[in-house]
C-alpha cells in the first residue's frame, strides 16, 4: 500500500521508551468511585437513575440522557450510592454532578445482555447496543460512537480507518492494547465494517511501534483488514492527517471525514465495541499510561472509570515534590490539571506527571515573523494571523480565516522559537468567534 503523508507537522521526541515495554497492569478497584453524570459534552447533563442509598451492580446503568449526542453512564463497581454531588471534572475546569459509589468489593456484575449473533443483527440494532453500553471515542475526544458510525444518508462511506497512530509523545495505551489484545481490535473492526457496510478497513500505526504493527498484522491475517505503517510525525493521528496519509484524500475545510467517504475510529474504541456487542460489557474501564520524570514506576494501567487520579498517581509512585505539571492526555494536546481529586473518564489516555525541565516553562519572547508556525501547521492555516486578529479583538475576521479548521494540535506552538502562547490565543479566538456566531 502507498503512503502519501501530510504537509506540515513536527517531530517532537516521542518519550515512549518509559512505558512501551511495560505490560499492562491492573489497578485494584478503589474503595470509592466517582462517576460524572456527563458524557462527551459537559453541557449536556445525564439524569441519574439511582438515588443515595441505592445498591448498584458493576456495569449497571446509573444515568442516561435524552437526545442523540450523549450516551448512558454505568457503575464501574458493585456497591452503594453514598452521594450525588457536584464535583470537579478533568475537562474544561468544569464542576459536574457526580455519583459517588462505595465499592463493596464483591465485583457483582449486572446481567450482561450480549448480542447472540451480531452478523445477523441489523445496523440499527448494533448502533442501539453501542449507545446503550456507553461507547464513546476513547482516543480523547469522547464523541458518541453510535453517532459517528451513522453518517448522513446522503454520503457514501467506502473505507473504515482505524487510528492506531498514537502520535502524542509519552502515550502507550493504544500501543499496549495492540500488543496485549489485538483480537478484540480486529473483532471490533469487523463489527464496525458490518455497521458501515464497507469492505475496506485499514489500521494505521506509526512506525515507531514495530511490535504493534507485527502484532496487528498477525491478528488480521485472513480477515482482509489491512495494516498500514505510518511515518512517525505529529499529528499523524489527526483524522484529516490520517486520511491524507493513507488514502491521499483531502477533507475539505469545514467538512467531516464522511465528506470523502471515510469514517475514522480509534483502535481502543474498536475493542470497546467488541466487548459491548459480543460480551455485553459496558465501557467502564480503560488503559491509561502514567509517565513523566516525576513518576518512579511508570506504567500502563488498566483502571476503572471513576478512579481518582490521586490513586493512580500513588500506584505509580509519583513524587509530588518533583511534579511541576500534571497533564491529562499527551503533552501536545493534553489538559493541565489543577487537582488530583478528579476521576478517570473514558477519554483518559494518559496522565503525565512532568518535572519543570519537561515542560515548556521558558520565557515568551516577541514574535520574529519567522513563519515557522505556518510551516508546521498540518491544516495549512496561518496561526500567527489568528493570534493577531484575536489580540486586536477582530473576532469577525477569524471565520473567513478558517480558524474553526484548527485542530488545536499545538504544532505551531511547538515550532515557535519565541515560545508564543499560540494555542491559548487560538482557543480564546474560537470561543469569541462561536459567541458571535451564536448571536446571529
Ligand atoms: S494548533 Fe491549529 S493553527 Fe496551530 S498548528 Fe495545529 S491546526 Fe495549525
Ligand atoms: S513561529 Fe513564533 S516567532 Fe515565528 S512567526 Fe510564528 S509566532 Fe512568530
pLDDT, position 139: 83
Which range is least confidently modeled, 139-143, 279-283, 336-340?
139-143
Q: What average pLDDT score do residues 243-250 get?
A: 97
Task: Identify whether the C-beta of residue 306 lies closer than 8 Å to the C-beta of residue 81.
Answer: no
Q: Which of 6, 333, 410 to mutate to test the pocket of ligand 1 (most atoms within 8 A of CB)?
A: 410
Q: Where are the beta strands (DSSP E) in 168-298?
A: 200-206, 226-230, 262-266, 285-291
pLDDT, the chain, mean: 95
Nearest CA to ligand 1 atom 3: 383
Rounded to the nearest 10 degrees, what angle do helices 267-279 and 173-180 cross at? 50
Ligand 1 centroid to residue 414 C-alpha, Å: 10
Q: List C-alpha distances in Å: 46 to 71, 72, 178, 188.
A: 8, 7, 32, 27
Q: Which-ligand-closest: CA of 383?
A: 1
Task: Find the mean pLDDT for residues 122-148.
Answer: 93
For ligand 1, pick from 381, 386, 420, 421 the residue to mutate: most ligand atoms within 8 Å of CB.
381
The pLDDT tens digits for 249-284 are 999 999 999 999 999 999 999 999 999 999 999 999
Interval 386-424: pLDDT, tens: 999 999 999 999 999 999 999 999 999 999 999 998 999
- CA proximity to 396, closest of 427, 437, 426: 437
Grid look-up 495549512 returns 380
319 neighbors 290 (Cβ within 8 angstroms): no
Q: How far apart are CA 228 and CA 161, in angstroms?
A: 10
Q: How far apart are CA 160 and CA 193, in angstroms?
A: 7
* pLDDT over threshold 70, residue 1: no
Res 361: pLDDT: 67
CB–CB of 211/165 below 8 Å?
no
* Ligand 1 in reach of 332 Cβ (< 6 A): no
C-beta separation of 158 from 259 below 8 A: no
- Ligand 1 center–CA 270 separation, angstroms: 28
Ligand 1 centroid to Cα of residue 91, in Å, is 20
Maximum pairwise Cα distance, the chain? 63
From the number of C-beta atoms within 10 Å of its C-beta (0-12, 13-18, 19+), residue 164 rates as buried
DSSP state letter for 375: H
CA dihedral 8, 141, 21, 208 (to 10 degrees): -20
Region 114-279: CATH code? 3.40.50.11540
- Cα 367 to ligand 2 centre (Å): 5
Flag whether pLDDT at 306 surpasses 90. yes
CA of 149 from ligand 1 middle (Å) equals: 27
Among residues of the chain, what percentage have pLDDT more than 70?
A: 99
Tens digit of pLDDT for each residue in 356-381? 999 876 788 999 999 999 999 999 99
DSSP 82-129: EEEEEEE-SSTT-EEEEEEEEE-S--PBPP----S-GGGS-HHHHHHH
Residue 297 DSSP one-character state: S
Q: How many CB atoms lie within 10 A of CB 75?
A: 28
Strand, coil or helix: 304: strand
Ligand 2 contacts (CB < 6 A) are 367-373, 384, 415-418, 420
**Per-residue cell: 156:** 457514501
User: For residue 387, how far is its CA from the centre of ligand 2 (angstroms)?
Assistant: 10
Ligand 1 near 238 CB (within 6 A): no
Predicted confidence (pLDDT) per residue in 148-187, tens digit: 999 999 999 999 999 999 999 999 999 999 999 999 999 9
**Local confidence band at 94 (pLDDT 50, 70, 90 cut-offs):** confident
pLDDT at site 202: 98
Q: Given ligand 1 and candidates 331, 406, 414, which is best to mutate, with the most ligand atoms within 8 Å of its CB?
A: 406
Atom of ligand 2 nearest to the CA of 376: 1
Three cell numbers at 63? Answer: 444515568
CA distance 282 to 17: 31
So what's the pLDDT on residue 317?
A: 98
Q: How confident is the model at residue 3 (pLDDT cuts 50, 70, 90)?
A: confident
Question: What residues does each domain of the chain span?
Answer: 114-279, 372-439
399 CA to middle of ligand 1, Å? 15
Amino acid at each position: 500500500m502507498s503512503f502519501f503523508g501530510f504537509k506540515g507537522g513536527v517531530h517532537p521526541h516521542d518519550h515512549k521508551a518509559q512505558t512501551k515495554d511495560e505490560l499492562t497492569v491492573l489497578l485494584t478497584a478503589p474503595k470509592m468511585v466517582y462517576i460524572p453524570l456527563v458524557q462527551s459534552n459537559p453541557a449536556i447533563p445525564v439524569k441519574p437513575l439511582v438515588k443515595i442509598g441505592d445498591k448498584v451492580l458493576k456495569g449497571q446503568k446509573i444515568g442516561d440522557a435524552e437526545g442523540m449526542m450523549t450516551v448512558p453512564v454505568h457503575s464501574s463497581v458493585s456497591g452503594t450510592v453514598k452521594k450525588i454531588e457536584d464535583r470537579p471534572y478533568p475537562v474544561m475546569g468544569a464542576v459536574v454532578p457526580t455519583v459517588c459509589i462505595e465499592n463493596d468489593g464483591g465485583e457483582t456484575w449486572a446481567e450482561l445482555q450480549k448480542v447472540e449473533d451480531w452478523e445477523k443483527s441489523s445496523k440499527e440494532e448494533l448502533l442501539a447496543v453501542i449507545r446503550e453500553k456507553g461507547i464513546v471515542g476513547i482516543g480523547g475526544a469522547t464523541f458518541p460512537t453510535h453517532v459517528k458510525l451513522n453518517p448522513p444518508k446522503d454520503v457514501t462511506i467506502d473505507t473504515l480507518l482505524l487510528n492506531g497512530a498514537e502520535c502524542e509523545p509519552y502515550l502507550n495505551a493504544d500501543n499496549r492494547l495492540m500488543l496485549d489484545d489485538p483480537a478484540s481490535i480486529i473483532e471490533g473492526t469487523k463489527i464496525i465494517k458490518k455497521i458501515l457496510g464497507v469492505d475496506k478497513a485499514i489500521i494505521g500505526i506509526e512506525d515507531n511501534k514495530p511490535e504493534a504493527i507485527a502484532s496487528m498484522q498477525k491478528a488480521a491475517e485472513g480477515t482482509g483488514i489491512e495494516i498500514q505503517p505510518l511515518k512517525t510525525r505529529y499529528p499523524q493521528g489527526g483524522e484529516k492527517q490520517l486520511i491524507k496519509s493513507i488514502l491521499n484524500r483531502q477533507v475539505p475545510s469545514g467538512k467531516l471525514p464522511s465528506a470523502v467517504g471515510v469514517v475514522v475510529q480509534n483502535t481502543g474504541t474498536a475493542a470497546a465495541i467488541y466487548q459491548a456487542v459480543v460480551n455485553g460489557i459496558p465501557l467502564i474501564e480503560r488503559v491509561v499510561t502514567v509517565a513523566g520524570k516525576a513518576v518512579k514506576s511508570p506504567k500502563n494501567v488498566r483502571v476503572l472509570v471513576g478512579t481518582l487520579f490521586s490513586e493512580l498517581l500513588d500506584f505509580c509512585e509519583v513524587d509530588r515534590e518533583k511534579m511541576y505539571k500534571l497533564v491529562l492526555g499527551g503533552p501536545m494536546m493534553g489538559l493541565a490539571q489543577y487537582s488530583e481529586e478528579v476521576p478517570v473518564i473514558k477519554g483518559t489516555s494518559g496522565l503525565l506527571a512532568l518535572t519543570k525541565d519537561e515542560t515548556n516553562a521558558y520565557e515568551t519572547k516577541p514574535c520574529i515573523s519567522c513563519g515557522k508556525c505556518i510551516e508546521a501547521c498540518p491544516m495549512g492555516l496561518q496561526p500567527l494571523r489568528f493570534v493577531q486578529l484575536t489580540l486586536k479583538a477582530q473576532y469577525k475576521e477569524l471565520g473567513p480565516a478558517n480558524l474553526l479548521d484548527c485542530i488545536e494540535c499545538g504544532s505551531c506552538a511547538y515550532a515557535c522559537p519565541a515560545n508564543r502562547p499560540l494555542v491559548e490565543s487560538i482557543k480564546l479566538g474560537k470561543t469569541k468567534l462561536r459567541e458571535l456566531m451564536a448571536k446571529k
